[in-house]
Amino acid sequence: MERNFEKWLSTLRSSISDYKYYVDFEKVYENINDIKVELNILNSLIGSKDFDDEFRSICQKYPQTLKCIPILLAVRQYEIEVQTNYKNIKYDFMLYKYKKLSHNDIDLYLEFLKETGLKELIVNHIINNLVDYVLGIEVGLDSNGRKNRGGHLMENLLERYIQALNVEYYKEMYTKDIEKKWNIDLSLLTNAGDVAKRFDFVVKTENQIYVFETNFYKAGGSKLNETARSYKNITQEIDRVEGVTFIWVTDGYGWRSAKHNLKETFDVLNTLYNIHDLENGILRKVIL
């Protein structure tokens, strides 16, 4: 039966974000727990009337508290480089692990707190608790990871449908590994082996190998046109390889801005599917 592209396009989804997509609180709490004791020690500086001397004393007694300072500025690395009008200064907040801190070392850290505004933040009681403050920072930093989490959502979704088939399947498999495992020639896909090609999933049945690519595009962009053209080329090349079927599962409103290129691939790739197709059991019909 001939498929209708416009009808198929109308079933694309605007989002596939799950509850964990927005903030990974388990990771946030884990990061907080790693430095919770040290943050509570530094809490004694909040509203301090003699911040400089108290900070020096803490550095001498509990030098490990220094590892908390970068995260107070929403910075993950322990080495921070600062360019002033006169010189370049490198701060190593794990220096205490390698040597006993000198008075000059501690004064340098104190200068950092003053110049970055952290001293003012703590002394003027602008915050009440450093643990709560860092919790907010960690939530904010974790939101930056949404792009990476979003990239795996479609893979995870597709994998659940593949698992439901109870077939032999592999995740993130390179063409060279497919060739070696099942003794087939995929050189048409790799320019005779010059280009490394990896498929998101590979399903092996008794008589056929199914190679999968999957993605989700929430927004448009030039990348979508390149993706559609690339998968059209893969389709035409795999059609020349006996015993191998290419399946592309994609979705997202982003395709609305690249529908012309997507239609070109749709017209030559009968196994181009979306989430709506998966929900209606397309993989069971095609593979089993």
Residue 60 has pLDDT above 90, yes or no: yes
For the segment 66-96, what is each residue's pLDDT rounded down to a tens digit? 999 999 999 999 999 999 888 899 999 999 9
Q: How far is CA 81 from CA 78, 87, 90, 256, 273, in A?
A: 10, 11, 4, 44, 49
pLDDT at position 130, please? 97
pLDDT at position 1, please? 65
What structural domains does the chain harbor? 22-143 (no CATH), 146-287 (3.40.1350)
Residue 192 has pLDDT above 70, yes or no: no
Residue 193 has pLDDT above 70, yes or no: no
For the segment 1-12, what is each residue's pLDDT rounded down to a tens digit? 689 999 999 999
Residue 47 has pLDDT above 80, yes or no: yes
What is the DSSP code (8-state) at residue 193?
T
Torsion angle (degrees, nearest 10) of CA 199, 284, 260, 238: 40
pLDDT at position 118, please? 97
- Across the chain, mean pLDDT equals 94
Give dist(CA 177, CA 97) in Å, integer.
Answer: 44
For the segment 124-178, what is each residue's pLDDT rounded down to a tens digit? 989 999 999 999 999 999 988 787 777 789 999 999 999 999 999 999 999 999 9
